[in-house]
Structure formats: structure tokens, C-alpha cells
Structure 1
Amino acid sequence: MLYLVIPVFNRWAFTRECLLSLRRQTVQGFRVVVVDDGSTDGTGAKLREEFPDVIIVEGDGNLFWTAGVNAGIRRAMELGATRVMTLNNDVIAAPDFVAQMLIWAERLPDAVLGALELDVATSTPIYGGETLDWRTNTRRDLLETLPTEKRHGLHPVTYLPGRGLLIPRRVLDTIGLFDEKRLPHYLADYDYTSVARRHGFPVYCNYDAHLSTYPDESGQEITRRHRSLKGYYQHLFGIRGGGNLRNFTHFSLKNCPKPYLPYFLLNGYARRLVGYFLH
């Protein structure tokens, strides 16, 4: 049984559109767990009224992404989940999204799978996974190298975001949950999929499964649109900061091969210190 885990904090309009897209799936037979982390916009009441089949896990407003996802996964596992998918609330799933994920999950039952992401406004592909060269801290964006005719099926990647991440039960039983202690918000998904890959579980981006996203609504983009010294501090040190130096250090120490670690850290610090003003 597949359980979809969606952490939310306010932004009911996004959550509603996401859940409506799941209602339109060509394949049903899955359950949805929404982790409502102390929303103040009436999300909980609206969920119960409009989506009574959704399982609600309530937080106190201090879970952030990682602990919220973990709370939902725990509930799903208690209910007998054989697969779990983490999903952000600001995505819209194509009608065959779940079907296409399950097709490949049946073929490769130990694989961790992500999805091809499209811009909700233009339907243009904007994220299709990447590979990382740890030696030089350089990333190869698959969308920049894959010809259009090859944008289908599975493509191996170094890690995946949690916006539409399918995790087999065996992976959860083997490596546990996301690292909420050291990575409370950003990089927890990249860390988790990196750890899974090191444990022998293949990690792929599934180009047959499509999610539409709002690239301008991400926390990092909003912060960069309103540059300030306070924003710069939050970028580097805040829990929701996309350039959080502490999170990057933990991610690097856990995942970067030791011979490449000094350069990887120095290069990553430099990028975060100046990147806020360059993008």
C-alpha cells in the first residue's frame, strides 16, 4: 500500500490544489497523510470538511520539513505502508503521476524514485535530476545534457528532492527516517537519498512521472527577491535558509568522500557566502 505524506504549514490554496490533483489520479488505492504543523489559516478544518479521507497528523508549529515528513512516515508505517512518497503541498500531480511511479516501482522494487518537474505556468521541464562530482563540487543538470527524445524512463542521479520522492519500505527499514536532528529543513532530502544510494539502493529520476511546481514560490527564491542584511543572515544561519552553513557542513561530512572533503567544504562555503547576492 502506497502512502503519500504531505507536510503543510498554512498556504491552504496550494494544499487544496495538490489534493484535488491526487483525486484525479488514474490509479487510486493509495492513502494521503497530511502533517498539519500548526497552521493558522484553517487548514485543519478545511481538510476535514473537503477531504475527509485524508489522514491528518497534527504538529505544534515547530516540526519544519524534516520532522513533519518523519511524523507522517511514522503514521504511514504504523498503518502498514509498503511504500511511502513524500510530496510538497505546492505541486500538482499529472493524472498519471502515481500510475507512472508505481509502474517503475513494481519493476525495480528497491529503487528510490523522483519525478520530472514542470513549470506550472508553461509546462516546461525545469528539474530532471542531477549528478554531482564530489571532487570538484560541480553538478551536471540532466535536462541540459539529455536530448528531448531521451527524456523518458529512468535516469540515475546522485540525489533527489523530497517534492515527489517514492521510498520503498525496505529502504525505510534499512536506513531509517530523515535526519531531523542535523538537517531540520533543507538538504534532508538530498542527504536521505545519498545515504540510500550508498546502502546499495538505486536512485533514479523518473521522466515518465510529471509534477508541476511553482518555481517562484520556493523559500529560497522568495528570500532572494527581497535581499537584505537580515535576509542574508537567515540565508546562512536560519533553519529555512537555503544556504545554511551548518546544514551544508553536516551534509558534506556525512556524504562527501573523505579525500575530497576539504575542497568540497571550502568551495561550498564560498558559494553560499556570495551566492545570495548573485542569483
Structure 2
Amino acid sequence: MLYIVIPVFNRLKYTRECLLSLRAQTRTDFRIVVVDDGSTDGTDQMLAREFGEVAVVKGDGNLFWTAGVNAGIRHALTLGANRIMTMNNDVLVLHDFVERMLFWAEKHPQAVLGALELDVATGKPIYGGERLDWRTNTRHDLLAELPEADRHGLHPVTYLPGRGLLIPLEVIEKIGLFDEKRLPHYLADFDYTSVARLHGFAVYCNYDARLSTYPDESGQEQTRRHRSLHGYYQHLFGIRGGGNLRNFTHFTLKNCPPRYMPYYLLNGYARRLVGYFLH
């Protein structure tokens, strides 16, 4: 059984819309676990009133993304999950999303799968996976490189985000859960999928399965939209900081081939130090 794990903290409207999109799926042989990390906007009452079929795990407001996902995965495993899908609450899945994810999961039962992301406002694709050249810290955007006629099926990638990320039980049994100690929020999803690939599991972006996202609502975008010295500090050192130097270092030490590590680290530090002001 597939269990979809969704960590939430406030943003009730997004959570409701996400769950309604999951309720409208063409394939319904899955269950949902919401990890409510101390929301104060009535999320708990809404879930109890409108989504009685959803299992809820409570947090105290200090889980952040990684520990929240891990708490949901642990609960799902006790309920007999053999596949886990992590999902953020600020996504809308198209009606055949689960069907198209499980179609390929059943053909490649040990593969880790992500999905093609669309802009919720325009319906246009905005993210379809990356291939990273560790030697030069160059990211090859599959959407930019794939001809439109080839934008279907599975495409191998270096790592995947946690929005609609399908993980077979075999992967969890081999590499464990997400690294909540060293990567409490950002990069935990990229790290997990990269580690899975290093352990021999195929990692694909599934271009047949689509979900819509709100790109302007990410924490990184909001921080950059209101630039300040405080925002710059949070960008580099805060738990939710998209350029967090400690997180980047941990990710690099775990995943980068040793011979490329010195350049990759120096290049990455430079990008984070100046990138806040360039985007």
C-alpha cells in the first residue's frame, strides 16, 4: 500500500486544496498521513471535520520538514506501507497523478520516482529534474535540454525534490530515513535521493505524472523578495535558509566524489555568498 506523507505547519488553505486534489484521483489505493507540526490556524480542526480518512501525526512546532517527514514515514510503516510518497502541502496533483506514478513504480519497483512540476498559475512546466556535473558544479536542466516530443516517461536524474517523491520500502530498509540531524529542512530531499542513487537505486523524474506548485511561495523566494541584512544572515545560517552553508557542506561531504570536493565546496560557498543579491 502506498502512503502519502505531508508535513504541514499552518497554511490551512493549501493543505485543504492539496487533500482535495488527492481525493479526486483516478486511482485510490493509497492512504494519507498528515504531520501537523503545531499549526495554530485551525488546521487540526479542519482535518478532523473534513478529512476523516486522513491519519494525523502531531508535532510540537519544532520538527521542520525533515523530522516531520520522518515522523510520518514511521507512522506509515507501522500501518503496513510498502511505498512512501513525500509531498508538500502547497501542491495540487493532477487527477491521474497517483495512477501515473504507480504505473511506473510497478514496472520499476526499486526505483525512486519524482514528478514533472507545473506552475499552478500558467500550467507550464517549470521543473523536470537535473543532472549535476560534480566536477564543475554545473546543473543540467532536463526541461531545457529535452525536446518537447521526449517529455514523457522516465528520465534519470542526480537527485529529486520531496514534492511528490515516491520511495520504495526497499530503499528505506537499505538507507534509512531522511537525515534530520544534519539537514533539518532544505537539501534533505536532494540528499536522500542522491544517497539512494549512490546505493544503486535508480532515480528518475516521471514526466507522465504532473503536479502543480506555487513557485513564489517557497521560503527561499520570500526571503529574496525582501532583501535585508537579517534576511541575508538567515539565508546563510537559518534552518529555513536556502543558502545555508552548513547544510551545503553536509550535503557535499556525503555526496560529492572526493576528487571534485575542494572545487565544488569553494564554488558552492561563493555562489551562496553572492547569490542572495543576484536573484
Q: Which category describes the TM-score, using the shorter chain as reference length?
A: over 0.9
Residue number in structure 1 paired with 2:243? 243
Structure 2: distance between partners of 1:44 and 1:55? 11
Structure 1: distance between partners of 2:121 and 2:150? 23
- Gap runs ≥5 in structure 1: none
Q: What SS does the corresponding residue of 1:223 show, helix, strand or coil?
A: helix
Residue number in structure 1 paired with 2:144? 144
How do 1:80-119 and structure 2 match up within 5 A?
A: 80-119=80-119
Residue number in structure 1 paired with 2:49? 49
Displacement after TM superposition at 1:29 (Å): 1.4
Structure 1: distance between partners of 2:40 and 2:267? 40
Structure 2: distance between partners of 1:237 and 1:75? 31
Residue number in structure 1 paired with 2:157? 157
Residue number in structure 2 paired with 1:72? 72
Displacement after TM superposition at 1:217 (Å): 0.3
Residue number in structure 2 paired with 1:268? 268
Q: What is the CA deviation profile of residues 20-68 of structure 1, one whole-angstrom value per residue up to 9, with x for unaligned ones?
A: 0001000001100000000000101110000001000000000000000
Residue number in structure 1 paired with 2:176? 176
Residue number in structure 1 paired with 2:13? 13
Q: Which 4+ residue blocks in structure 1 deviate beyond 3 angstroms?
A: none
Residue number in structure 1 paired with 2:195? 195
Q: What SS does the corresponding residue of 1:155 show, helix, strand or coil?
A: strand
RMSD: 0.3
Structure 1: distance between partners of 2:29 and 2:105? 15
- Gap runs ≥5 in structure 2: none
Structure 2: distance between partners of 1:18 and 1:187? 23
Q: What SS does the corresponding residue of 1:5 show, helix, strand or coil?
A: strand
Amino acid in the other structure paired with 1:155: H
Structure 2: distance between partners of 1:240 and 1:118? 23
Residue number in structure 2 paired with 1:130? 130
Residue number in structure 1 paired with 2:221? 221
Number of equivalent positions: 279
Q: What is the CA deviation profile of residues 156-210 of structure 1, one whole-angstrom value per residue up to 9, with x for unaligned ones?
A: 0000000110000000011000000000000000000000001100000000000
Amino acid in the other structure paired with 2:244: N
Identical pairs, percent: 78
Structure 1: distance between partners of 2:39 and 2:144? 38
Q: What is the CA deviation profile of residues 228-262 of structure 1, one whole-angstrom value per residue up to 9, with x for unaligned ones?
A: 00000000000000000000000000000000000
Q: What SS does the corresponding residue of 1:278 show, helix, strand or coil?
A: coil
Q: What SS does the corresponding residue of 2:277 show, helix, strand or coil?
A: helix
Structure 2: distance between partners of 1:246 and 1:175? 22
Structure 2: distance between partners of 1:197 and 1:44? 36
Structure 2: distance between partners of 1:39 and 1:71? 16
Amino acid in the other structure paired with 2:246: R
Structure 2: distance between partners of 1:175 and 1:246? 22
Structure 2: distance between partners of 1:29 and 1:48? 21
Structure 2: distance between partners of 1:144 and 1:46? 40
Structure 1: distance between partners of 2:45 and 2:181? 30
Structure 1: distance between partners of 2:65 and 2:222? 17
TM-score scaled to structure 1, two decimals? 1.00
TM-score scaled to structure 2, two decimals? 1.00
